[in-house]
Amino acid sequence: MLNNASILITGGTGSFGNTFVPMTLAKYNPKRLVIYSRDEMKQWDMAQKFSGDPRVSFIIGDVRDKDRLARALDGIDYVVHAAATKIVPTAEYNPFECVKTNINGAMNLIDACIDRGVKRVVALSTDKASNPINLYGATKLASDKLFVAGNAYAGTHDTRFSVVRYGNVMGSRGSVIPFFMSLANTGVLPITDSRMTRFMITLEQGVELVWHAFDDMQGGEIYVKKIPSMTILDIAKAVAPDAENKIIGIRPGEKIHEQMIGLEDAPNTFAYKEHFKILPMIHNWSSDPSRINDGVKVPDGFTYSSENNDEWMSADALREWIDAHRHKVGAI
């Protein structure tokens, strides 16, 4: 599907983009892969990695700027929407800026993609959009709803929108693993709450979920990857087994456990071998055979939360992963 296609990724200089770009270039050989983001230094750094590849180009722009999006989307077939204000405390203390990027930016992108005739759009979401307690999660829930409804909003246009949702990305910049690694030599790791659990997904798995969404989507689906959970204490043990754990309390807007599928979504959720699919409640799309395919409806009362997961990652398994990927943990 992505072979010889023109692809644009918003927020493409982030952790996801730095993994999506080389993997997609290698697997699909797209005609163009455009990185759209607002940080010129990150673009400069990333451009050095692909300086000899004519397929990769960069455009400075913000998803808040609808006119700039319209220009950047000229001739684009597929879009991955990765741009977001996503640090939970930052969003709590800068709420209007978070809304401008995560909600207004989503609206701008939906409009621009429809007007430019983009074929398919996959937006990245987060566990925090399921029953949100913080502003970041609330804005991403609103964004998810906008992208789902965008399929009806498109009218007679052929643009289709779907969403992928996953939890803590292992080793990504600003996440808990590189944070703990930076403090390992101090002998003390700050633990917000000893009961805390988190979903664990690699960037490569996140990219593969986006590829699957592009291939499978009819429009309006939310794809949720089946991934293992870990306790925060096991994460700390994997990074620095001899360090002292100091309880410091939960940060503003932080959850003890992550949730990706809530109780209210269960009636419209179907299970597959490696993922779940939440179908839209609007327009009877949740009963559409072309969207369900071979999915099995989850039981009543189902939730997918990091504390009730069937699959768990051990501290030893995470330590092996860190040893194999130490060169890039926290670097992208």
Provide the pairing of β-strand 296-297 with 269-271. antiparallel
Catalytic residue, from 42, 86, 128, 277: name it: 128
Q: Which residues, listed in sequence order, are joined to residue 190 by a DSSP beta bridge?
A: 246
DSSP, res 276:
E
Where are any strands of DSSP class E within 174-307? Answer: 188-191, 197-201, 222-225, 229-231, 244-247, 259-261, 269-271, 275-278, 296-297, 304-305
Amino acid, single-letter form, for residue 152: A
Q: What is the SS3 assignment for 177?
A: helix
* Percent helix, strand and coil across the chain, each to the nearest 5: 40, 20, 35
Cα-Cα-Cα-Cα dihedral of 105, 106, 111, 112, to 10°? 60
Do 280 and 217 contact (CB within 8 A), yes or no? no
Measured between alpha carbons, how far is 77 from 285 in angstroms, rounded to an integer? Answer: 24
Active site residue 225: no
Query: Could you tell me if 5 and 77 are in contact, meaning their C-beta atoms sit under 8 angstroms apart?
Result: yes
Q: Single out the residue of 263, 265, 297 nearest to residue 280, CA to CA.
A: 265
Please report, for residues 159, 273, 303, 329, the alpha-carbon distance to residue 155 in angstroms, rounded to integers and kept in the order given: 9, 33, 33, 43
Active site residues: 128
